[in-house]
Structure 1
Amino acid sequence: MSKIHILLVEDDYDFGSILKQYLEVHSYDVTWITDGEKAFTILKEKKNPPISIAVLDVMMPKLDGFELAQKMLTITPEIPFIFLTARKLKEDKIKGLRLGADDYIVKPFDADILVLKLRNILKRNTYHIPPSQQEKITLGSYLLDVKNYYLQREGKIQKITEKEAALITYLFQHKNQMLKRDKILNDLWGNNDFFSGRSMDVFLSRLRKYFKNDSRIRIESTRGIGITFFLDE
């Protein structure tokens, strides 16, 4: 089994070096970058092995952690991320969480706590394609390739992630039914905590954009109750 690959973006050389070594002791592969611009370049290149999670310092030169996270979301929205900061302002924590951060850790902190948080985040971001005998599924004018992770419409192909394919397949299997949020979260995310809920909302938003050109497909949320994937056939 390949190791989990962490992108660590931390401009403090002493702290970054120690944290990198500590994570490697816990069997993670770590790419350590000291400024936000270089980190964004790494993300754009999408090197192998792929990055599983990012740990971002907030106060950095060139691009701070918040700015880097915003740019990350435009090219790698599937990568979960954690903010590290010496700032204790409530406003900063709220800003970080609104950006979609999976956690916000204030320095100084116990490195063991970081490792546990990473494990928990990676666990809830692990997806499995729901069982299906179909390798390709027709959804209105779209064709979903379950195995190769793409949507096709009118000859145009939209590459999607494994996580997106899992969610589309699951919703299709329960089309035109009201699904409770907790059920979707438990079935696909493995739990129904706050951060998993935010993650699911991000994915649903992306699916709505993918299917926007076919009025027969609608994903509707009933606040506090559930999700319905409408498919008129």
Structure 2
Amino acid sequence: MNDKINILLAEDEATLGLIIKESLETRNFHVTHCLDGQEAYKHYNNMKPDAIVLDIMMPKKDGFSFAQEIRKTDKTTPIIFLSAKSQVQDVLDGFHHGGNDYLKKPFSMEELIVRIQGLLDRIPNKNSIDEFNIGIYTFSYTKQILKCEDNIFNLTHREAAVLKLLLEHKNEIVDKSEALLEIWGKDDFFNGRSMDVFISKLRKKLSFDSSIQIINVRGRGYRLIC
């Protein structure tokens, strides 16, 4: 990499923020560190970060509020939430509020670096297919919108990524382990449960067309039939 990757870091623990900043900057990242969500939002508007590393519990503007605000106009900049909260619902809340990944404290810097790079590698290029037709639906991956007649569904990043993967392999079995590694970056029980939740949500949103089904293939994964 010749060009530095610009990271916006919002972390109110000054010592931890400094450690993250210094560690990333030894790996060809340029890091702008902010101590609260309000300050981070100002920097976001003045720069074009390649990725955002975002603590959830912060003064002035919390991480969820920050993410929701920028997701109104920016659907593609990767957001990684940092949090000491580790329950399944906490992680799902992170994805629901616009996050692309969720890293539980304490974490290793190596894992953070790998996750940032993994998200950057998955940003679609200009030549990739964005618009899909699914029965009576249309789906835009970059806009994260699923439309059906007068119904418009705003998808989370993970919902959009799962649906895109299923569509790219429609009527074929998508191996669950491979899907988890591609979208979540890690194949484990915790992420597997999260994926099951997203599959259930997609089924409900696609229920207006009876010709569309997402079926479980026991012991293997999922198949989108359309």
Category of TM-score, reference length = shorter chain: 0.5 to 0.7
Identify unmatched segments of 5+ residues in structure 1: 11-15, 59-64, 85-104, 106-112
- What is the match of residue 41 of structure 1? 65
The equivalent of 1:212 in structure 2 is 207
Conserved in 2, the CA contact under 8 Å of 1:130 and 1:169? Answer: no
Match for 2:172: what amino acid?
Q
CA apart distance, 1:197 = 4.0
Where 2:99 maps in the other structure, the secondary structure is coil
In the alignment, residue 193 of structure 1 is paired with which amino acid?
D
More displaced 10-residue stretch of structure 1: 127-136 or 163-172: 127-136
Between Structure 1 and Structure 2, how many residues are aligned? 191
- Identity %, equivalent residues: 21
Matching residue's letter, 2:18 = Q
Q: Is the 8 A contact 1:7 1:51 kept in 2?
A: no
> Could you say what secondary structure the match of 1:19 adopts?
helix
Q: When the two structures are superposed, what TM-score results if normalisation uses the length of structure 2?
A: 0.63
1:7–1:30: 8 Å Cα contact kept in structure 2? yes
Q: Does 1:174 align with 2:169?
A: yes
Q: Deviations over 1:118-160 (max 9, x none)?
A: 1233344453559987553221110123454422111333233
Select which of 103, 106, 117 maps to 1:82. Answer: 103
Deviation at 1:201, TM superposition (A): 3.5
Q: Is the 8 A contact 2:81 2:102 kept in 1?
A: yes
1:39-188, aligned counterparts within 5 Å? 39=62, 40-46=64-70, 52-58=79-85, 69=90, 72-73=93-94, 75-76=96-97, 78-84=99-105, 105=106, 114-125=108-119, 127-129=122-124, 135-161=130-156, 163-186=158-181, 188=182
Residues 130 and 207 (structure 1 numbering): CA distance in 2 closer, same or farther, change over 3 Å? farther
RMSD: 4.0
CA distance, structure 1, for counterparts of residue 206 and residue 154 of structure 2: 13
Structure index of larger Rg: 1
Gaps of 5+ in 2: 26-30, 37-56
